[in-house]
Structure 1
């Protein structure tokens, strides 16, 4: 990656809490801390892979950055503009440059619309071009995503899972965005199809130069597509580093445990599995101190009492751990 590339997306101390209501009057009795004070940057043409267990706040992070859900606090900048200070008209213009690829290729496509209508819908809504031009743009875009021109007259139920995800990618791509949040785009697909979609996403990025926030729970998938990798646990970022650095030199005990579970295709190589004890705590009632201390094999008294600072321990390598 080039050092002088400009920062496209900047996230500062982002929090997203969901209220928990209870009692006869449904008063707020607590909060689910889905995203709890995280910060990171994504440069132009770069992919940040966001990994962690289900329920750790990855998808909430992506949707809060896109302002599909309102933040609780913190700041999100896109090209130096604070997106939470934009009015409706300015935000509508920004939507052209920030897109989302959904996790489920089955439920994310309207079964009553043809491919032509699904992919071209955003062009029509934003009144970017005429009907004839929309038709041409749709054909051009779906061909780029590996589908044939005759597919535009078909409905979603006539396609396989991999083909449906290509339609979803085409829908995000047709507006020529600068930033795409890919929310577990291959988790619902067969392993044989996953590699095709990952390769397609990489080819599109090389060709068009946009940035990804690639959300996944699979570290082996993230390794292929990401430039940087961030590891989340219970709404907090516990470690972030360039891809090669994180896989060669993981520092946080949670990152080490995740990497120990990644299968190696060579049967001669043995890896010691790190088995985490206990269950994932509730995000509505996280543990005191370090959130990971209830499952950490190296826990100390300090871990139970003090929240570790998220700090840089090496160039572009950040970690939140008292043991470092």
Structure 2
């Protein structure tokens, strides 16, 4: 009849047996376990009685394991190893929380990355995976993606998993150094003699760009001017590259507020004049339904939304102060 677990001897007696079998000495086993040789001998006799077998051959000055003792030692050592592994797994620190985000190259590099850096200054334990692509519009649908940055258009409607972030506003910006060397540029007409940095049409036809473009032509038209014959100093389908060129003083770029605001706050870029062009669409944060119950994801969402609200209030305050001064 198989021995049932409730009839097994105590775990302590098996542990004592393993130590005694390792040393083949009750005295040395007692030294390791900090008990007397007699206590070890008594536990082994109790274990042998419970199992109904002899585990050791007692000689004058030594011990030997019987065949039953050898089989038991193999089983006990393996079982105690499994128990130790299980306890280690229980006590092992859990994996650090991870937030996976997706968006276009510009949205990830210019808008999200600075905010991730600020968030991690207070929460360095949180890791981020940032998936940026202008070509793959399916990233936001991956199960591992917690948050996605998307532009509002006919495919996007505000819902329970969608947070409104900001409107689409664009205006010309350049570095203070470029403005000092080549300015002033008092109005839109003056930009006809400037080094303009322009987005290539390849950017606007990328698979992950599902909205109508805003180009220099659009901005000049919105400013009430006829579209001049432009020969941009640099053209690229990579918006972060153009922004970096503007920071280095190579020309003037159309700056999307959410993408260049950090650089403007730092003084690396500045607006030429008060001429924002507001497009009738907005940007949203899409939250994967499976991520709604992750506390670290919700904490990051709150961080983003609170920061945007505070920034908007500050801009309104500065705008009111400017109007009062006038």
Pick the TM interval, shorter chain: under 0.3
Q: Which has the higher strand share?
A: 1
TM-score by structure 2 length? 0.25
Q: Which has the higher helix share?
A: 2
Larger Rg: 2
TM-score by structure 1 length? 0.25
